[in-house]
Structure 1
Amino acid sequence: MTPLLERLGALVHQSVRDDAARHGLLPIHVLVLGYLARANRYSDLPIAIAEYFGITRGTVSQSLAVLEGKGLLVKEPDERHGRRIHLRMTRAGRAVLNDSWTQRIEQELTSLAPGAAALEESLHGVLVTLQRLNGRRPFGVCSQCAHFLREPRGARCGLTGEALATEQTLKICREWTAAAGEAA
């Protein structure tokens, strides 16, 4: 199993390098854009990027400066939380991702329809194990979180008490916690 994971990791890494080079970027820049495409409003923060990738705040700051300078993202102040900055991809940033390895692999994986669920479950198990062994935050899909509350008028985060737009509930969240009886 280890050689298989090593090979998969190497191929993903090479694909990210190739995508980045096509756009005059470094691999971390493409990874940050991919992350932002999947992050909800609790996770589109510089600190969340550092936690997700296990990199320093300085590396995040430098990467964001490059992406902002190339017009691939913008920084927006949080209306409720003082100095907090949210990161939003621009149309140009989304265009970089539209031709990325993540799009290509997603298409291939969805063609495995009968076995896709089992494959995803197996890979999730590997991810959970690696996160636990490395002491990393789990990050998970908002609607699958222990804090997620479905209400007659929509959804709400039980941790923050804030209403959640449907779009946000489908994205990853840094505050995610496994529901009782589930593995993180």
Structure 2
Amino acid sequence: MKPSVFVFERLAALLQQLVREDAARHGLLPVHLQVLGYLAQANRYSNIPIAVASYLGITRGTVSQTLAMLERKGLISRSNDDRHGRRIHLQLTAAGEEVLAGSWPQRLDGLLAAGGVDLDELASQLRAVLGSLQRLNDRQAFGQCRECAHFLEERGKHRCGLTGETLAVEQTVRICREWSDPRLRESRPGDSRSAPRPLAEEGRG
């Protein structure tokens, strides 16, 4: 077994410890903090219950209970989708954002930057590892909107080639459950971006 595997194993253990400690400071469980962290990054296609379950690899029942608790604590809120009546969107409240302020991701970013680490290069290398693990475990990939095969930039505006919908700038830097590897563009016969489709109602949360 390569030394890099042991490094990843140790990193995973330390990150789990950081999550537990941050959660405990706010009277939360690790899964609660993970849900808040996900919602802070998710775009409008992905801030829905089923996407939370997929991203964290947990059951819908666990997600339902977790969301109910976070809502009771005033850390998240729900809103109906204007276009799709069955779809519920989840947002952090000001209190939820406060819980994440100064949490371990911010502290780690600061430490890496202070140590002279090239954060962009590190992110690129880690994404390659993440992609390999997702393929190995047949897990759904989530990625930043603007780095997706479906992302289109036309006349200064941004659009999702999958849905045909215009994207606000702030949405393009968030992560999406519909993300697709941009390297697939050239290999995809008959670019599917030319045939926008609405996201299906069933199973979208």
Q: TM-score, structure 1 length as denominator?
A: 0.95
Pair 1:65 & 2:87 matched? no
> Could you tell me which of 3, 23, 26 is aligned with 1:23?
26
Q: Which has the larger radius of gyration?
A: 2
Stretches of structure 1 that go unaligned for 5 or more consecutive residues are none
Counterpart in 2 of 1:151?
154
Q: How far did residue 116 of structure 1 move?
A: 2.5
> What amino acid maps onto 1:28 in structure 2?
V
Count of aligned residue pairs for this structure pair = 182
Does the residue aligned with 1:150 lie in a helix, a strand or coil?
A: strand
Counterpart in 2 of 1:97?
100
Counterpart in 2 of 1:53?
56
Q: Distance in 1 between matches of 2:103 and 2:48?
A: 22
- CA-based RMSD of the aligned residues comes to 1.3
> What amino acid maps onto 2:148 in structure 1?
C
Q: Distance in 2 between matches of 1:109 and 1:168?
A: 26
The structure with more helix, counted as a fraction of residues = 1
Stretches of structure 2 that go unaligned for 5 or more consecutive residues are 186-205
Q: How far did residue 114 of structure 1 move?
A: 5.2
Counterpart in 1 of 2:143?
140
> Could you tell me which of 79, 83, 86 is aligned with 2:86?
83
> What amino acid maps onto 1:95 in structure 2?
E
> What amino acid maps onto 2:38 in structure 1?
Y
Counterpart in 1 of 2:77?
74
Q: Distance in 2 between matches of 1:92 and 1:49?
A: 19
CA deviation profile, 1:35-82 (whole Å, cap 9, x unmatched): 111110011010001110111000100110111010000011111011
